[in-house]
Amino acid sequence: MHMADALISPAVGGVMWTLSAASAVYATAKIKDDPGEKKVPLMAVAGAFVFAAQMINFTIPGTGSSGHIGGGILLAALLGAFPGLLTIAAVLVIQCLFFADGGLLALGCNIFNMGVIPALIIYPLIFKPLARKGFTVPRITAASALAVVAGLQLGAFAVVLETLVSGITALPFSVFVLLMQPIHLAIGIGEGIVTSLVLNFVYKANPEILENSAAQTIFPLRGKDVSGGAASGKTAPWGSIKKSLVLLGALALLTGGLLSIFASAYPDGLEWAIERTSGSAELEAEGPAFRRAEAIQENTAFMPDYTFPGVSAGSAGTALAGIAGAAMSFFLAGGAGFVIYLVKRNKAKAV
């Protein structure tokens, strides 16, 4: 659901950049305690995994469309809402600048639709209440499915509203929304299955990971916390997460370097809806803001469309791009977490 620049006006792009930047600053500030020496590598590995997983488009039967996971709910469940938002933002920045996946002008929209909505709205309102009485496999599965579907429905509707406010006449509201919502419902079911499988795997290996993340609240909780203890504000101990880190890291490499070459060739849900609404798979936009954004991406995107220059478009280029992108997401997400860790630790020492 990566929006291209042609889907929005410069004014809407600027507003959404501001909202997303403000949300990232807010998320950073709300991490009151340092993210911890073990949370930082988890941010890095989870970011790498989500980048790799987003490269795998799965076919939506009978539609001629495909979908991929967004990863917002998955990251929020693994890391907490605030680190989850920062991690998905890091992935989207990597995709935009180095792979030309999603427009630079539309980057604020993409971070808001795929990061702010699932991590800061849907996760605390749907996922956490469903798992509030204690994590179990059925609760994790139900919470994952419902939260992902709700997040994608709200995110898809946000895309429609952003194009409407931008005055994109090629995408009339009534037609566009009636195509966007059902196709992203189907995609949400697929992503919900993937999310529940990953979270159940992590919970069985290290239950402290989900319990610790759920203990970081956005809205005050009354009574008992999700781990079943008194809501005292203390988080559950992390314990050892080395096994989960290694397995998630290996899965990221396997997904980006091998499984990505088997991704569906069908257009994703957004592209599918655009083509059926406007009659064209890609819309055109003119103006200095669009030209500047395009020029910047042309200079930064050394792997456009997930292929290396000089490597024929196909399995080899896709595998190389998947591994490179996962590695860059690892370092950017982990680096952001490490900087926050240092700043929070130094502030705590200065008090």
Contact between residue 26 and residue 116 where contact means Cβ atoms under 8 Å apart: no
pLDDT at position 223 is 40
In 3D, which of 58, 102, 82 has the Cα closest to residue 191?
58
pLDDT at position 228 is 38
Is the pLDDT at 235 greater than 50? The verdict is: no
pTM above 0.85, yes or no: yes
User: What is the C-alpha to C-alpha distance for residues 261 and 253, in angstroms, rounded to an integer?
Assistant: 13
Mean pLDDT, rounded, for 195-207: 92
Is the pLDDT at 153 greater than 60? The verdict is: yes
Residue 327 CB neighbour total at 10 angstroms: 18
Mean pLDDT, rounded, for 308-312: 65
Is the pLDDT at 32 greater than 70? The verdict is: no
DSSP single-letter state for residue 230: B
pLDDT at position 233 is 41
Average pLDDT in the chain: 88
pLDDT at position 343 is 86
Q: What percent of the chain has pLDDT over 90?
A: 66
Structure confidence at residue 150 as a pLDDT band (50, 70, 90): very high
Tens-digit pLDDT profile for residues 104-140 = 999 999 999 999 999 999 999 999 998 877 889 999 9
Query: In 119-172, which residue ranges form alpha helices assigned H by DSSP?
Result: 128-130, 137-165
pLDDT at position 310 is 65
Is the pLDDT at 236 greater than 50? The verdict is: no
Tens-digit pLDDT profile for residues 65-93 = 999 999 999 999 999 999 999 999 999 99
CATH of 5-217+236-350, one of 3.30.70.1380, 1.10.150.20, 3.40.50.11890, 1.10.1760.20: 1.10.1760.20
Structure confidence at residue 53 as a pLDDT band (50, 70, 90): very high
pLDDT at position 213 is 83
pLDDT at position 312 is 56
In 3D, which of 90, 93, 98, 89 has the Cα closest to residue 297?
98
Q: Report CA torsion sign: 351, 343, 89, 293.
A: positive
Structural domain spans, the chain: 5-217+236-350
Q: What percent of the chain has pLDDT over 70?
A: 89
